[in-house]
Structure 1
Amino acid sequence: MSYLVLARKYRPRSFDQMVGQEHVVQALSNALTQQRLHHAYLFTGTRGVGKTTVSRILAKSLNCVGADGQGGITAVPCGVCEACRDIDAGRFVDYVELDAASNRGVEEISQLLDQAVYKPVVGRFKVYMIDEVHMLSNTAFNAMLKTLEEPPEYLKFVLATTDPQKVPVTVLSRCLQFNLRPMAPETVLEHLGGVLQAEQIEAEPGALRLLARAARGSMRDALSLTDQAIAFGSGSLREEGVRQMLGAVDRSHVYRLIEALAAGDGAAVVETAAQLRAQGLSAQGALEEMAVVLQQLAVLQVVPEALDGADPEAEVLTRLGERLPPDDTQLLYSIALHGRNELGLAPDEYSGLTMVLLRMLAFKPAGGGNGKTAAAPLQRPQAAALRVPTRSAPGGEVTARVPAASAPVQPPAARAVPAA
């Protein structure tokens, strides 16, 4: 039997299985329960947040007939009737998924709309799902406007896009728009834990935390990275192996850098940057990880109770939060963010990283740390007196002395005006 990847195996089959999109689930469930159904829906959001999944669940809800064949429109599809099983398998004749990236012309849309005049073959509704709808040409958009505004009562449109700004306003005004949010790392972490428990695969909490952060809000990316990590670790997920697979920077390096910056120890900063180079770790990842830690420190310094006591790194964060003043934390965070954009301009990324770290030391407030490497205020150099040749009345050339530019120039005294 062929292996089914985790992203497909654990794709939600009903609204109650979806995570991280409660606002969309609640709106659609209430609409289905109250039979207040719109004829066109637009789902927007980044990749891997559930746009196609919501579309399939909505199609099942509209066409489900229940296990006994007597059911109607429902917010909880049974999953066992023929319509539910066929939609999950991708063979339901009245549910059409069209990829607009490869079918963006007016001919393809016209062929699709020509079939709209015919009633559903086996289902209650005919559902047209157009993925990446922003890729359609302007002519194709114009061709579907009339049908999109007044479709037959048995036809539902579901549009999905990662770039809603490219969808014409004439289309947006005809749809109910739902924005699917990127997943929070905590949500991804919890879901990955449940998936790996169902798969009976051992995983270290640190490894799951790395995968949740690397997914950047996409549940599909998280599950795909988990598949890769399982193969990399021969059936188990270890933090060291996942970090090596992702090329992520070990938090210990970041903590060492922040401690050195707090102490004003320039030698330790340069040495740690050299270690990152020797281990082939990403300079971009180092600054990104440093920004994450500094953001956690900033929150900890303002709201100490926000720290999760179960976090294995809580003790280290608490120690760093006590050593680093809050204004230093804000400054280092800002420099780390801006420094990431400058790495591409540097001769190489490690020299760029070193310069960003040295800038953190150079702009360190004079009272911070132990003051050994705090930058002294710059003194404006005194301009040397210039000797400018001038010419006097019939005599020869005389050299006049011009005062320094930085010396204050006294205005001439006001001449006394005699009283009348």
Structure 2
Amino acid sequence: MTDPRALLRATFDAAVRAADPLDGIARHLPERPKGRTIVVGAGKGSAQMAAALESLWEGPLEGVVVTRYGFGAPCRRIEIIEASHPVPDAAGLVASRRLMEAVRGLTADDLVIALISGGGSALLPAPAGAITLAEEIAVNEALLASGAPISAMNTIRKHISTIKGGRLAAAAHPARVVSLIVSDIPGDDPAMVASGPTVADAGSRAEALAFVETYGMVLPDAVMAHLRSPAADGLSPDDPRLAGHSVHIVASASVSLEAAAAEARRQGIEAAILSDAIEGEARDVALVHAAIAREIAHRDRPFTRPVLLLSGGETTVTLRARGKGGRNSEFLLAFALAINGVDGIEALAADTDGIDGSEDNAGAFADGGTVARLRGAGLDARALLAGNDAWTAFDSIGDLLITGPTGTNVNDFRAILIR
């Protein structure tokens, strides 16, 4: 308790260690096939998953996975391609084609191991119909700015893609496909992680169109024309080409939060997990967390001090301006405003992949004195929040958390210590 931030960082590190894919892959390692073993994958943790699989697999192995720039890992038999995230680029388009080529022409004796983690949606651009890469990029930018939950974003993405929504697995038919997934999705729906390249769902293009309208998205004409046509219909989960496939969640937010709670208890602090599936506007979620923290600080309810509150999930940010930051730093800035002047509350919010939004930080720290420190630096916390400029806020007072790429991705991590 002499160093609250050290405790918060220790719980974050414990959460990340628990999301290491090695143990989960080892538990779900498929049997060697009679024929070839092909590895495909996409996501911010896919390169580390590929390295883990290589260390465990006995026998011939080949394939290709795509990850974010700077998130690669050394592999001997599996090729690693790096591409852009969160906005797709031409390298991602090449990677999508390479993954589809890798699974074509296989037989029933062959095995495809799909290594899927969060971030794969942006890393696998594969525009359908007359849609261009530039138009798919425009869709992604509109999705990120809309404030829509990840389920809505990925429903739209699936219906304008030639690889998402189970299409990669269908291309592998008649080979058996085993999907090993590090989930960054609230509720751990495997069909939503990376927009489900190997897992189909029942979502319809009518739902995709409804999400476009609900969140006021303005999408390119070619995209809207495609969504309105039968060509955008997705694969059904009972498509015969997907029969016999298996899907395993090898790491998730739930397991990581339990590990963080165990670390806090090891250090003598009781911990309470609020939820591993929180969604909603980051600044609104912050107000709820702040209200609970203040209630504990002032009245020792619903938990008694000292206690560590933990939560996960995936919040969203509706862009109102062009500042720097991500959903975790935006959460923290709104949280700091809501606990301004309250002693004994310390908070950390970060993305478990090590990158929050567009900058180089995983997240940041905040406490009851954050707003005052910003004021001392000549900055207005409310103006920074209004400008979606949380990174600038925390950078100016030295309160960013910088970890570098962690090699996994189970989404948001929030830890709030009430002393």
Fold match (TM-score > 0.5): no
Q: Max radius of gyration: which structure?
A: 1
Q: Which has the higher strand share?
A: 2
TM-score by length of 2: 0.29
Q: Which has the higher helix share?
A: 1
